[in-house]
Amino acid sequence: MVFFSKVIARKKRSKAKLQIIFRNRVLFMLIIIIACFTLLLTQLFHLQINLHHKYSTMSDSNRIQLIPMPPTRGQIFDRNGVVLATNVPSFNLTITRQNTSKPVAEIIETLSQWVDISEQEINKYYRTDRVTARQTPVPLKEQLTEEEINRLSVNLYQLDGVDISSQLTRFYPEYNTAVHALGYVGRIDQNDMKDIEAKNIQNQYLTLTHIGKKGAEKSFEDVLRGTMGFEEVETNSNGRIIRRLEQTLPTPGRDIYLTLDMRLQKVAEEVLGDHTGAIVAFDPKTGEVLAFVSKPNYNPNLFVNGISHKDFNDLNSNPNKPFLNRVMQGRYPPGSTIKPQIALAGLEAGIITATSHINCQGYFQVPGNKHKFRDWRRWGHGKVNLYLSLVQSCDVYYYDLAYKMGITPMTDFLKQFYLGQPTGIDLLGESRGVLPTPEYKRLSFNQPWFDGETVTAGIGQSYWLTTPLQVNQATTIVAQRGQAFVPHILHSIRNPSTNETVINEPVPIEPIHVSRPEYWQSIIDGMVGVVHDNKGTARRIATGLNYKIAGKSGTAQVKSIAQNAVYNKDALAKKHHDHAWFTAFAPANDPSIVVTVFLENGGSGSGVAAPLAKEVIHAWMTGFKAPLQTPKTNAKAGE
């Protein structure tokens, strides 16, 4: 009995002990569960309350995005509708940084396994990427071949933010022709971005990678660019578009028509040939620029997608400076081309008359000074009046006139002709030139003015610096007897969506009034004699003409010649040869064209530049029906 009692007691104690252990374990598990729930609740609170805004924003941005839609750039045409700049489709490999999940360097390394990507393309990508918004696709490799497209298409699913995109690329079908007038587009760089930010128009360039860099492309950028559009899309977490929701279509850029006539432009380009120089032509009745040639030139298509280092270095190191727009940025002494305007100043000042004359012995001396200012014809011209002074381009006549008139009255009158002054053409980057005045010399060199500098200013030397554009405008004003227009190259603007066209109306200059209208005729008669008088410096070009050309030759000295020395072209380096000028209009009694030819270090104005001008004028006057002749030039012909 006692034995059973002990056994029962032990069982009871064992059961109680097990119950305690069980309770402790349950309690421990309960604590663990409570702790876990507490942690979960805390995290849930953090996510729902503290991070609600962050994840809500991320969710929305992952789901709905606004994608900028670039506008189509406007086209450029000549006055007759010849296409000068257009857009052609191309396929590019692009990276959109906003949508990438890997470092760009790693992405490029992967892509390089599928297509060849050069170091230059990689560097170009990074340069563009630095100034481009994150949401804008940046081209890594452009103008993909069909084989490259096929190879990429089966692999791109592996890379977020990488796409093959089709876009319109600028193309210049006339290549080098009129490049200095037309300009080109190129990739937006940091300098462009500064200008864009200064104008506060960043939103207009969100997805654009190109901008007008030079010429008409730059000058009319706001017209050609168009207005950005936007597309609202739904995307997945990898940034891939899964649904398109709404669009605000971009407004395409407007087309522009230039005043250039490509028929005349090509004639001028052909006759200028391999000469370094410029040819510019106006319609004198409107100020429209008909031809705009600067040589050497270059192919603008090289710049559209980024010019290679080799091509750029070849152009940039060319001693003849193909990037220089000689028509409106090249500054040169005008030489005798400005004698008509100086003669008009003398008539208006009463210093000369149409019949007064001097006796030219081949030199001029300032009273009290032994220095002899030589005429281009060393033995002189004899008895010279106004008419013969222009026909034979007598330097002594203009030395004497300039000295008697004085530098300030002379330059005050001549600046009305835009000599040494901006013409106001509607292309950006026009050079001012230099009007030779005592003030200019004092400010530039801190030196006084001397009488001898007035003397040489009378033949377009001294400190004179003008552009071919300025000389052509000065001649136009004479042709129009003081009533002319600001030169312009924009003819009209057309809206491609509505076909509405707005004409760019000519803007008149401040008229030049002289006291006696016959003064204009005296000057024009002398210029006609330059070509059609048997003593004229450019008489050789009169052959075969059934209309009258009024012109003026000019041979501008580059290197000073010692007092008693004779100019010997063959003994001088090419860069020291005289510049050749010829400026003219036709028909003389009712001009429809004004042309100026400038040949850098070209020699004789009448012997080299005049024959080229004749071919340009004759092509225009005959409606391009007469066959173009090879100009017969003579670099040693004299003035």
Biggest CA-to-CA distance, the chain: 171
- Beta strands 255-258 and 76-77, pairing class: parallel
Q: How far is CA 106 from CA 111, 124, 155, 218, 356, in A?
A: 9, 17, 15, 37, 85
The DSSP 8-state label assigned to residue 254 in this structure reads P
Give the strands of the sheet with 64-69, arranged side by side: 64-69, 229-235, 241-248
Q: Which of 497, 124, 488, 179 is nearest to 322 (CA)?
A: 179
Which residue has tokens 């940084």? 97
The DSSP 8-state label assigned to residue 133 in this structure reads -
Q: Of these residues, 219, 294, 336, 462, which one is catalytic? A: 336
Question: Can you tell me the distance from the alpha carbon of 45 to that of 181, in angstroms, rounded to the nearest whole number?
Answer: 67
Q: Write b or e for each residue in 45-54: b if 16 or more Cβ atoms lie within 10 A of its Cβ, otherwise e.
A: eeeeeeeeee
Contact (CB, 8 A) for 484 and 473: yes
- Beta strands 593-599 and 579-586, pairing class: antiparallel
Question: Can you tell me the distance from the alpha carbon of 3 to that of 13, in angstroms, rounded to the nearest whole number?
Answer: 16
Question: Can you tell me the distance from the alpha carbon of 513 to that of 197, in angstroms, rounded to the nearest whole number?
Answer: 45
Q: Determine the straight-line distance between the first and last CA of the chain, rounded to whole angstroms.
A: 155
Question: Can you tell me the distance from the alpha carbon of 519 to that of 347, in angstroms, rounded to the nearest whole number?
Answer: 7
Q: Which of 634, 287, 533, 322 is nearest to 426 (CA)?
A: 287
Q: Quick check: is 336 catalytic? A: yes
> Which amino acid would we find at residue 599?
L
CB atoms within 10 A of CB 114: 16
Residues designated as active site: 336
